[in-house]
């Protein structure tokens, strides 16, 4: 199935053999089905009256003013959900649980990588968020101002996000693995005036500084007024006159703050995601619809029982999975979560299973790439721990291979736990296609059907719904509450990117297939965006990073299937003429280029291999033929260093070029 995940594969591509032979079915456990939050009738109810269904779901929130209209779609594709409603996101996530007498309930069991721990109750969280909100007010943050957050997986990151939400100041969280220039671009794009960060973070047992990247970024962002720095590692950091220690400013604030209500459509956050072309897109999520969507799906798809469950989304807060299912949904539902700072192999490969054993985790949510890594490490590692509390396993980020699904279910879930393969995107805000653990008989490798209240279809090139057994493009045919509202500052790009390919439908960019029962199998992106370890990377961004190196003239990047990371970045580069021949063939240069990409974008974007070539295959209109390059990259094992000396590679390119000429024009 790894082939199926390859981004460029045409939706009807031949990589479906595994699908056709996949006949395993796993029924919901009887006890889970008998007590499930959501039963089969939800599908019918939602189909009968979709908006009434979403009106019901919104009752999961506390509104200070109820909405007048569930959906206003008159200005499509610009949606307004819960029109006229007012609420405060942080109040819903925190205060109301304290008011209901649940202040002592644990919100987070936090586990630091070095082994330090913190237990944070809802009452603690209320005080921390109030103090942080008061601090932001002191720093001049007003409703509508943007705040950038560049932090690791520590409780203050959650607190910072909720403090922004409390003030109606949209946050933009930038993943801590991104480089200074990526941070700078995001700060500038949304014009953030305050940045919240840390001195450093723990990563694989050592301290990695984060603050220097902020210094580098902020040096080019004159409009940033202050940088608020949480002390995490205690390492030495350079200090500028914009910098303030979090503990100096936040700790002395009042622990109470009265939340104000905001319009349902008030911006909650901007999350940047790669596109096929150009700069990253700032995906805008607003308040009422987004919160309804994530709260409902967390309750339905994970069957969350806030009284007894211990929930763990093992993802980074800097991605949408962390926003929706570490922060907003679990807190709105009053759940207890685990939050872990570090990597799965620090200090040993059993760390996750040790955490599950220790906190008696009942629901685990992670990505196929991580599952494949655990498979590589061996089933004997989790076998050493008590995982008997687990009752549901989730997967997200890319298609899950049937082998990985079955391994996960067997070795982690001991064949008792349903696996919910949840398809969604940064843009959708929350789950869209997923089994329901108490209802659906799961098929390994399939995300099954749209959840109640969501309408998805697979269409052909002409936008016609395909029949069972056929593949095509995944589209969403009706608006949904958690949908992005626009691309920050670029309404036209929002329309062009998502709503133009198939008029009236949202085009997700993924290929999908309906099996004989009409269940959905995701096939990966139909464009050139790569998915490396569940992270979506754009070829263009990496190409631009390579070309920004003084020795590179041109670059083409493709995603080649990779056993561990789903896809791996493979780059082809043409050097500038001035580069001496000996250097052009050296391992040193390849290393330099890989590091350059890591610095410009992120270590995640580092090419697995870089091949120096004299020429690149292009269509007549000048577009690089990436599909051909992907074939080359996948049909040869390339080492770290492959140079133009390697004529067999160039032979492959030219052979392919002859047969493929013109097909992408
Ligand atoms: C893209 C969205 C959703 C949060 C993490 C990634 C791929 C995501 C699945 C899945 C097959 C999946 C799609 C999608 N994807 N989940 N269960 N099965 N593919 O968010 O970075 O916005 O990426 O990830 O290609 O379009 P994202």
The tens digit of pLDDT for each residue in 400-437 reads 878 889 999 999 999 999 999 999 999 999 999 999 99
Between CA 603 and CA 199 the distance in angstroms is 19
- The pLDDT tens digits of the residues spanning 30-68 come to 999 999 999 999 999 999 999 999 999 999 999 999 999
Cα of 323 vs centre of ligand 1, distance in Å, is 15
pLDDT at position 13, please?
A: 32
pTM of the model: 0.84
pLDDT at position 20, please?
A: 45
Residue 514 has pLDDT above 80, yes or no: yes
Cα of 566 vs centre of ligand 1, distance in Å, is 12
Span 90-96, mean pLDDT? 99
* Spatial contact of 617 and 661, defined as CB atoms under 8 Å apart: no
Q: For CA atoms 544, 548, 551, 553, give the dihedral sign.
A: positive
Q: Which atom of ligand 1 is nearest to the CA of 426?
A: 22
Beta-sheet pairing, 69-72 with 80-83? antiparallel
pLDDT at position 459, please?
A: 95
Residue 439 φ then ψ, to 5°: -120, -45
- The pLDDT tens digits of the residues spanning 261-300 come to 999 999 999 999 875 556 889 999 999 999 999 999 999 9
Residue 624 has pLDDT above 80, yes or no: no
pLDDT at position 73, please?
A: 98
Span 611-626, mean pLDDT? 72
Span 12-35, mean pLDDT? 69
Ligand 1 pocket test target in 19, 365, 425 with most atoms within 8 Å of CB: 425
Structure tokens at 547: 């070309």
Cα of 531 vs centre of ligand 1, distance in Å, is 8
Span 462-467, mean pLDDT? 96
Cα of 396 vs centre of ligand 1, distance in Å, is 6
Least confident of 379-393, 415-429, 479-493, 550-564: 550-564
| Radius of gyration from C-alpha coordinates of the chain | 24
Q: Whose Cα sits closest to atom 10 in ligand 1?
A: 423
Ligand 1, CB cutoff 6 Å, lining residues? 273, 319-321, 396-399, 421-426, 447, 508-510, 522, 524-525, 531, 536
pLDDT at position 147, please?
A: 98
Counting residues of the chain whose pLDDT is more than 90, the rounded percentage is 71
Query: In 3D, which of 363, 373, 449 has the Cα closest to residue 407?
Result: 373
Residue 620 φ then ψ, to 5°: -65, -30
Between CA 259 and CA 166 the distance in angstroms is 6
Cα of 509 vs centre of ligand 1, distance in Å, is 10
pLDDT at position 64, please?
A: 98
Q: Which atom of ligand 1 is nearest to the CA of 509?
A: 26
Ligand 1 pocket test target in 397, 422, 443, 522 with most atoms within 8 Å of CB: 397
Q: Which atom of ligand 1 is nearest to the CA of 424?
A: 3
Bond before 121 cis per omega within 30 degrees:
no
Residue 647 has pLDDT above 90, yes or no: no
Residue 17 has pLDDT above 60, yes or no: no
- The pLDDT tens digits of the residues spanning 307-358 come to 999 999 999 999 999 999 999 999 999 999 999 999 999 999 999 999 999 9
When pLDDT is cut at 50, 70 and 90, the band that residue 397 belongs to is: confident
Task: Give Cα separations from 8 to 429, 509, 513, 605, 628 (angstroms).
Answer: 24, 11, 15, 18, 10
What are the strands, taking DSSP E only, across 3-128?
69-72, 80-83, 86-87, 106-111, 117-121
Span 63-74, mean pLDDT? 98
Residue 11 has pLDDT above 60, yes or no: no
Q: Whose Cα sits closest to atom 12 in ligand 1?
A: 398
Q: Kindly report the average pLDDT of the chain as a whole number.
A: 89
Q: Whose Cα sits closest to atom 11 in ligand 1?
A: 399
- Dihedral (Cα; 471, 477, 482, 484), 10-degree rounding: 90
Encode 34-52: b = buried (16+ Cβ within 10 Å), e = exposed: eebbbeeebbeebeeebee
Residue partners of 471: CB distance under 8 A and separation at least 6: 11, 12, 13, 16, 458, 511, 512, 513, 514, 523
**86 Cα distance to chain centroid:** 28
Ligand 1 pocket test target in 536, 537, 538, 565 with most atoms within 8 Å of CB: 536
Q: List the binding residues for CoA.
A: 203-206, 321, 533
- Domain borders along the chain are 527-659
Query: In 3D, which of 350, 257, 330, 316 has the Cα closest to residue 108?
Result: 330
Counting residues of the chain whose pLDDT is more than 70, the rounded percentage is 89
Q: List the binding residues for Mg(2+).
A: 547, 549, 552
Residue 462 has pLDDT above 70, yes or no: yes
267-273: strand order across its sheet: 243-245, 226-230, 194-198, 147-150, 171-173, 267-273, 281-286, 486-487
Cα of 398 vs centre of ligand 1, distance in Å, is 5
- The pLDDT tens digits of the residues spanning 195-254 come to 999 999 999 999 999 999 999 999 999 999 999 999 999 999 999 999 999 999 999 999
Residue 1 has pLDDT above 60, yes or no: no
Q: List the binding residues.
A: 203-206, 321, 397-399, 421-426, 510, 525, 533, 536, 547, 549, 552
pLDDT at position 622, please?
A: 55
Residue 573 has pLDDT above 60, yes or no: yes
pLDDT at position 656, please?
A: 53
* Spatial contact of 609 and 642, defined as CB atoms under 8 Å apart: yes
At the fourth CATH level, the homologous superfamily of domain 527-659 is: ANL, C-terminal domain (3.30.300.30)
pLDDT at position 610, please?
A: 92
Which contacts (CB < 8 Å, 24+ apart) does range 36-42 have?
36/303, 36/436, 36/437, 36/438, 36/439, 37/299, 37/300, 37/303, 37/304, 37/305, 37/438, 38/299, 38/300, 38/303, 38/436, 38/438, 38/439, 38/452, 39/438, 39/439, 40/439, 42/300, 42/436, 42/452
pLDDT at position 651, please?
A: 67
Encode 224-251: b = buried (16+ Cβ within 10 Å), e = exposed: bebbbbbebbeeebeeeebbbebeebbe
Q: Whose Cα sits closest to atom 1 in ligand 1?
A: 425
pLDDT at position 402, please?
A: 81
Least confident of 48-52, 287-291, 483-487, 537-541: 537-541
Cα of 103 vs centre of ligand 1, distance in Å, is 35
Residue partners of 49: CB distance under 8 A and separation at least 6: none
pLDDT at position 16, please?
A: 28
Residue 618 has pLDDT above 80, yes or no: no
């Amino acid at each position: 199935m790894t082939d199926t995940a390859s981004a460029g594969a045409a939706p009807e591509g031949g990589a479906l053999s595994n699908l056709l032979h996949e006949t395993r079915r796993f029924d919901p456990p009887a006890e889970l089905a008998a007590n499930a939050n959501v039963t089969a009738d939800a599908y019918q109810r939602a189909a009968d009256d979709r908006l009434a269904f979403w009106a019901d779901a919104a009752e999961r929130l506390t509104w200070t003013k109820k909405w007048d209209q569930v959906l206003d779609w008159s200005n499509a594709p610009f949606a307004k959900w819960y029109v006229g409603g007012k609420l405060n996101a942080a109040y819903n996530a925190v205060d109301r649980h304290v008011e209901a007498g649940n202040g002592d309930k644990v919100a987070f069991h936090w586990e630091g990588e070095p082994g330090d721990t913190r237990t944070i109750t809802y009452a603690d969280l209320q005080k921390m968020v109030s103090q942080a909100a008061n601090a932001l007010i002191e720093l001049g943050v007003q409703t509508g101002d943007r705040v950038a957050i560049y932090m690791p997986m520590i409780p203050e990151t959650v607190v910072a996000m909720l403090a922004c939400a409390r003030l109606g100041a949209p946050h933009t969280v930038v993943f801590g693995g991104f480089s200074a220039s990526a941070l700078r671009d995001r700060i500038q794009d949304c014009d953030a005036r305050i940045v919240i960060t840390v001195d450093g973070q723990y990563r694989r047992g050592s301290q990695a500084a984060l603050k220097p990247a902020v210094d580098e970024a902020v040096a080019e962002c004159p409009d940033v007024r202050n940088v608020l720095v949480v002390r995490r590692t205690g390492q030495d950091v350079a200090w500028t006159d914009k910098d303030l220690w979090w503990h100096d400013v936040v700790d002395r604030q009042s622990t109470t703050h009265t939340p104000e209500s905001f319009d349902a459509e008030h911006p909650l956050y901007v999350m940047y995601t790669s596109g096929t072309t150009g700069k990253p897109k700032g995906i805008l999520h607003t308040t009422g619809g987004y919160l309804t969507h994530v709260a409902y799906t967390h309750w339905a798809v994970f069957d969350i029982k806030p009284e007894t469950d211990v929930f763990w989304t093992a993802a980074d807060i800097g991605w949408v999975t962390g926003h929706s299912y570490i922060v907003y949904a679990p807190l709105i539902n009053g759940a207890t979560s685990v939050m872990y700072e570090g990597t799965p192999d620090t200090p040993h490969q059993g760390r996750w299973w040790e955490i599950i054993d220790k906190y008696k985790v009942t629901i685990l949510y992670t990505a196929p790439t991580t599952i494949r890594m655990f498979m590589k490490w061996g089933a004997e590692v989790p076998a050493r721990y008590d995982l008997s509390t687990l009752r549901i396993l989730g997967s997200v980020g890319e298609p899950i291979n049937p082998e990985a699904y079955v391994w996960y279910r067997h070795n982690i879930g001991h064949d008792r736990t349903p696996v919910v393969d949840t398809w969604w995107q940064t843009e959708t805000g929350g789950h869209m296609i997923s089994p329901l653990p108490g209802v659906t008989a799961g098929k390994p490798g399939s995300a099954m059907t749209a959840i109640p209240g969501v309408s998805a279809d697979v269409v052909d090139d002409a936008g016609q719904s395909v029949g069972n057994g056929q593949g095509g493009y995944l589209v969403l045919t009706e608006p949904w509450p958690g949908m992005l509202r626009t691309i920050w500052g670029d309404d036209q790009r929002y329309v062009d990117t998502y709503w133009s390919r198939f008029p009236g439908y949202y085009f997700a960019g993924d290929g999908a297939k309906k099996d004989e029962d009409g269940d959905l199998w995701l096939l990966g992106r139909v464009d050139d965006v790569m998915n490396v370890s569940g992270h979506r990377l754009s070829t263009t961004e990496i190409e631009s990073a390579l070309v920004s190196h003084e020795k590179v003239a041109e670059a083409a990047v493709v995603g080649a299937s990779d056993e561990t990371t789903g896809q791996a970045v493979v780059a082809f580069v043409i050097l500038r003429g001035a580069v001496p021949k000996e250097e052009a063939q050296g391992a040193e240069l390849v290393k330099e280029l890989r590091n350059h990409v890591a610095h410009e974008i992120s270590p995640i974007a580092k090419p697995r291999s870089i091949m120096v070539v004299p020429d690149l295959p292009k269509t007549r209109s000048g577009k690089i033929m990436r599909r051909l390059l992907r074939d080359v990259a996948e049909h040869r094992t390339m080492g770290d260093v492959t140079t133009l000396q390697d004529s067999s590679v160039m032979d492959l390119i030219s052979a392919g070029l002859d047969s493929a000429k013109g097909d992408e024009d």
